[in-house]
Structure 1
């Protein structure tokens, strides 16, 4: 039997923490192992506890008292390099979304998301995918698609790999990509391996980040 997904919650609103705590307690396979009202305490726990204290997922708010969630992300990467971060914020500002992805976030969800969307997002990220709130995914795809073929060609990415890259940016898991493209999960994994090699990145969030730094997320002025 698979172990539960260990979750750390960094959120300064007690009422919202209580809601998430209640939901996770009812969801099989999810375990809220710690929660903090600010980034400093969370980082201190990660630093002092070492690898033994690393959660699988950190749900991270951006607008925290003291250090912001975005400013905490490099330290999370340092103290808990194997932990995946999902931003859970009220902010839908494009700059926040892109900076979070650039910092290595595996997902970005709004607090207006349903509890099912949040728990599904957690499982998607643990399955190797990336999760984005639908309206934010549409923004990224809108800016990504006009320039994707040119840059993909320059990187040596095939048409099928380009499709997979687009679906990664949209937030689909490997299983969902397999279903949509009607190919096996093994083939999806193979495509992802080639994409990561060609973009010289280790994972899906880094692939989105690399696409951003190549200019894929830059508007053409429309």
Structure 2
């Protein structure tokens, strides 16, 4: 039996907290152990060593009263380096995406994501993977095209792999790609794994990290973005 993933939700809107609570309630392998409305409250819980159960993963909003999600992310990671963080926000600003990944987030989802997409993300990240939601992957494609010019991409990837990479860049998820190309979801997953192997990245967020290290992306994205 797989280990239960203990989740903390940091979200200031009660209505959305109720949505997530309801979505996770009947999942045998996921348990929502805390839901709080501010980063400061989440921080106090993480620092309270008397807590018998600590979160494995945080669903973190960016636009919070007091300290924002982006400001708090490094603090959460420093308190518990093994803690996984998925940003769950309304912001699709490229600066927010790359900044969150740079600061250690393992996933970035928009609040328009379906319940199934959120559950899949929790399981993927909880088991050591990384996720980017629909509409976010286009930034990864732009980054990869900067790291590898088009002719190099064509040399490295097969025609089908280029096709799938382009669809990822349009924001399609595996299920949608499978439907569009009339192939199975597992086949899509295999192609995506091969793409990452050929481009020498572990996952989509790793491509952003690689771009930072190469000096391709700025180290301080525009701080004036909306959350």
Residue of structure 1 equivalent to 2:108:
108
Alignment partner of 1:132 is 2:140: no
In structure 2, the CA distance between the partners of 1:58 and 1:181, relative to structure 1 (3 Å rule), is: closer
Residue of structure 2 equivalent to 1:96:
96
Contact 2:7 2:59 in 1 (8 A): yes
Per-residue Cα deviation, 1:10-42 (whole angstroms, up to 9, x for no partner)? 000111111111110122211001111000010
Please state how far the C-alpha of 1:2 moved relative to its aligned partner. 1.5
User: 5+ unaligned residues in a row in structure 1: which ranges?
Assistant: 197-201
Provide the secondary structure at the position in 1 that maps to 2:108: strand
Please state how far the C-alpha of 1:207 moved relative to its aligned partner. 5.5
Per-residue Cα deviation, 1:167-192 (whole angstroms, up to 9, x for no partner)? 999888xxx99743758xxx97xx59
- Identify the structure with the greater helix proportion: 1
Output aligned runs, 1:21-170, within 5 Å: 21-49=21-49, 53-141=53-141, 143-149=142-148, 159=156
User: 5+ unaligned residues in a row in structure 2: which ranges?
Assistant: 175-183, 219-227
Contact 1:104 1:206 in 2 (8 A): no
- Structure 1 Cα separation of the partners of residues 204 and 52 of structure 2: 25
TM-score for both structures, normalised by structure 2? 0.71
Q: 2:188 pairs with 171, 180, 190, which one?
A: 180
In structure 2, the CA distance between the partners of 1:206 and 1:182, relative to structure 1 (3 Å rule), is: closer
Residue of structure 2 equivalent to 1:199:
none
Please state how far the C-alpha of 1:128 moved relative to its aligned partner. 2.8
Provide the secondary structure at the position in 2 that maps to 1:35: strand
- Structure 1 Cα separation of the partners of residues 185 and 75 of structure 2: 32
> Cα RMSD (Å) of the superposition?
3.6
In structure 2, the CA distance between the partners of 1:132 and 1:206, relative to structure 1 (3 Å rule), is: closer
Contact 2:132 2:205 in 1 (8 A): no
Contact 1:54 1:80 in 2 (8 A): no
TM-score for both structures, normalised by structure 1? 0.72
Per-residue Cα deviation, 1:69-127 (whole angstroms, up to 9, x for no partner)? 00001110111110110000011111111110110111111111111111111112123
- Of 79-88 and 119-128, the range deviating more from structure 2: 119-128
Provide the secondary structure at the position in 2 that maps to 1:113: coil
Runs of 4+ in 1 over 6 A off after TM superposition: 166-172
In structure 2, the CA distance between the partners of 1:45 and 1:179, relative to structure 1 (3 Å rule), is: same
